Structure 1
Amino acid sequence: MGDYPVLPAKSLKSGVELHKIVDENKEQLLGQKCIEKFGGVIPFLLKILSIAKALPLQLHPNKDLASKLHKENPKQFTYDNHKPEIAIAWGHFEVFAGWMPTSEIQALFDSLPPLQKFLPNKQAKCDNETLRSVVETKLKPSDESIKECQRELREIPRENYGKHTYVLDILPRLQDQYSIEDPANLVVLLYVPGTPPPLFSTMNFLTLPASSAIHVPADCPHAYLSGTIAERIARSNNVLNTGFCPRASRTNISLFTSAH
């Protein structure tokens, strides 16, 4: 809900789109400070999401990248703004967001042999460019290699996962919702980021109770799994999807890899 020209809210009384109403009543509805800072538009959008199926693994470009992408491809990147988000849980809310401490994911790599195949030349440490290469490798493998890795992970004793046993509980859910071939199954659970340059990292799995909130900044990979939330976001519709969506919608994997 907002005055963004893509699917804007409308007046229940007249059916007039909200951006037209705001444009004709800027002083009354926004105030001079908002007009001076944001150019006479509502600077945020409000979403109500009831998530029964994992939403795409994605990130939103920062302002500089959004401006560049908008100039190059305005049809796909419809606005030159960033899109940080604040999500407020109305009930139990599950989300992957950001990266775990590097020591924790290193322990996972040490204890879970199927993951070691993603390490270039079995290195213990990698520089940024090597890590970026690993990210793309995990987002672009063959369907069979994705399936094989997940089958191997499910066969490893539960105790080897330490406090990350949720992997074994969430993985079947995600496979049922999309498919065992979806690369996001590996990315959200067992992932290697490009920058900043820690050793190995994976996405944080968070469960939030009602009335709690999470801030997802621009450039932060995230995937909302389940729950009902109110989400306030900056005025933009730019997104890079790489998983938990149809193959045709897995856009800009290389850009996703380099953007965060």
Structure 2
Amino acid sequence: MYKLNNRVRDYAWGSKTLIADYLGRRPSGAPEAEMWMGAHPGAPSVALLNRGHARLDELIDADPEGLLGPDSRAAFGNALPFLMKVLAAESPLSLQVHPTREQAATGFAAEEALRVPKDAPTRNYKDPNHKPEMILALTDFEALCGFRSATEAKEIVDTLVTFFQETGADVPRLLPHLSSTLARPDEPTAIQQAFAGLIRGGDEVSGTVSAVALMLASSIPEGPHAAAMKTALMLNEAYPGDPGVLISLLLNRVSLRPGEAVYLPAGNIHAYLHGLGIEVMASSDNVLRGGLTTKHIDVDELLRTVVFTPLPVPRLATTSPAKGHLIWQPPFDEFQLQRIELEPGTRHPELPAGVPVIVLVASGSGVVEARRQTLELGKGDTAFLGAKENPVTLRAGAKEPLVAFVATIGIHEPVPH
């Protein structure tokens, strides 16, 4: 087992304080968006050795059986199948969707055959893997997630039309057209056509976004759709004139309290808006963007990837096998997340055995104990536990409670949600 140093990604939407405060260290002064814990080649963790250090992905390459174990290797091959992050959104992320495994494999092979550089701004597929994920809120956390019903989306658009009419302003032509599109009888087709019209809309969409934002800046109509309109106004402040501002009206608005989680399967279009969370995902960096961005949008590939069927928000329930022990198991085999809380001086009898594990200490301090090795971990420290370290226990320090998050591979049946 190894203590880890992890890279913090300085994306512009990140918070300058949330990650540093949560991990108990001094802020860098730059935006800190994500701390990656894992072996993804884009930003692999670095393991601290008795002498020197080494990249975690290189250690796994050298000993996949010992570090991953037979179960993980049989299911996922010779790479760590999950990636764990601490994510801090100060401003909204882009609307995005992740492909299925089959789409990723096909798209990656096609771009490799065309010799598209992996760092090219037009590249869609960085690897051949899918990227299902989950996010657990550590603070109040705001997001957009999947499509609301076409009926509800039409009600929001109609409310905007009425608002323009009541104020005596000219109604942008796009809004009645969008309303009629959403009224079509086949719901997924109606949503797909509304979405495609907005993402392809060009100057007319940009002008409508600006007109809507100008109206909402003066007053938000009261009623059940006020939150959706406030969100659209906020998004326009971050991305003026972007089609994603109107696309947000088609999407579920999700508010998570600390300890609540959602999971995001392939095809679910989503955007994190604000907050701090623990994110776990399959180890991939495949993202297709769908608005709220200045980056490349491959509209045709996006439309092939998004699932346009409206569904309930995919909230993720917990199981609790023991006091102070919570497990979030999404319907994906690559990962699960656990939270372990221990009173001072007490011990968690056994961490997941025979599989790869990453531990993050969120508060307090403790010791990870194996047969031939111990690791002392304080607030903000992380460790990788190889499959060959079996059994492994976690013990809290004597003076204060310990809270740790544990990521490992998943089980083969989903927790009800």
Q: Does 1:233 align with 2:269?
A: no
Per chain length, whose mean CA-contact separation is higher, i.e. which structure has more relative contact order (CA < 8 Å, sep 6+)? 1
Instruction: Note the alpha carbon deviations across 1:66-106, whole angstroms, 9 max, x for none.
Output: 11101111433121111011101110100000111333223
Alignment correspondent of 2:44:
8
Q: Does 1:211 align with 2:259?
A: yes
Bigger Rg, structure 1 or 2 = 2
CA distance 1:33–1:164, change in 2 (3 Å): same
Q: Which residue of 273, 277, 297 corresponds with 1:251? A: 297
Q: What is the one-letter code of the residue matched to 1:167?
A: A
Q: Is the 8 A contact 1:81 1:235 kept in 2?
A: yes
Q: Is the 8 A contact 1:94 1:207 kept in 2?
A: yes
Alignment correspondent of 1:124:
183
CA distance 1:148–1:102, change in 2 (3 Å): closer
Instruction: Note the alpha carbon deviations across 1:101-127, whole angstroms, 9 max, x for none.
Output: 33322322443325222356x683155
TM-score, normalised via structure 2 length: 0.54
SS in 1 for 2:293: coil
**Aligned-pair distance for 1:241?**
1.0
Q: Which residue of 170, 192, 197 corresponds with 2:231? A: 170
In angstroms, what is the RMSD of aligned CA positions?
A: 2.4
Higher helix share: 1
Q: Does 1:94 align with 2:142?
A: yes
Q: Is the 8 A contact 1:242 1:250 kept in 2?
A: no
Alignment correspondent of 1:198:
none
Which region of structure 1 is more displaced relative to structure 2, 88-97 or 33-42? Answer: 33-42
Instruction: Note the alpha carbon deviations across 1:176-234, whole angstroms, 9 max, x for none.
Output: 2222x111111112xxxxxxxxxxxx210011011111101111000000001110001
Question: 1:81-230 counterparts in 2 under 5 A?
Answer: 81-113=129-161, 115-118=175-178, 124-125=183-184, 131-143=191-203, 145-152=205-212, 155=215, 158-159=220-221, 162-179=223-240, 181-189=241-249, 202-230=250-278
Instruction: Note the alpha carbon deviations across 1:4-63, whole angstroms, 9 max, x for none.
Output: 222221124434211111122323222111111111221101111110011110000111
Q: Is the 8 A contact 1:61 1:82 kept in 2?
A: yes
Q: Does 1:59 align with 2:59?
A: no
Which region of structure 1 is more displaced relative to structure 2, 130-139 or 216-225? Answer: 130-139
Higher strand share: 2
TM-score, normalised via structure 1 length: 0.83
CA distance in 2, matches of 1:39, 1:251: 31
Aligned residues with identical type, % of pairs: 28
Q: Does 1:36 align with 2:36?
A: no
CA distance in 1, matches of 2:139, 2:292: 23
CA distance in 1, matches of 2:199, 2:62: 47
CA distance 1:144–1:27, change in 2 (3 Å): same
CA distance 1:221–1:2, change in 2 (3 Å): same
Q: What is the one-letter code of the residue matched to 2:133?
A: E
CA distance in 1, matches of 2:128, 2:287: 12
The alignment of Structure 1 onto Structure 2 pairs a total of residues equal to 243
SS in 2 for 1:163: coil
Q: Is the 8 A contact 2:157 2:179 kept in 1?
A: no
CA distance in 1, matches of 2:139, 2:182: 43
CA distance in 2, matches of 1:111, 1:178: 23
CA distance in 1, matches of 2:232, 2:275: 18
Q: Is the 8 A contact 1:136 1:254 kept in 2?
A: no
Q: What is the one-letter code of the residue matched to 2:132?
A: P
SS in 1 for 2:242: coil
**Aligned-pair distance for 1:158?**
4.3
Structure 1 unaligned spans of 5+? 190-201
Instruction: Note the alpha carbon deviations across 1:107-150, whole angstroms, 9 max, x for none.
Output: 22443325222356x68315566654432220122345423345
Structure 2 unaligned spans of 5+? 1-36, 113-117, 162-171, 307-417
Q: Is the 8 A contact 1:3 1:42 kept in 2?
A: yes
Q: Is the 8 A contact 1:182 1:243 kept in 2?
A: yes
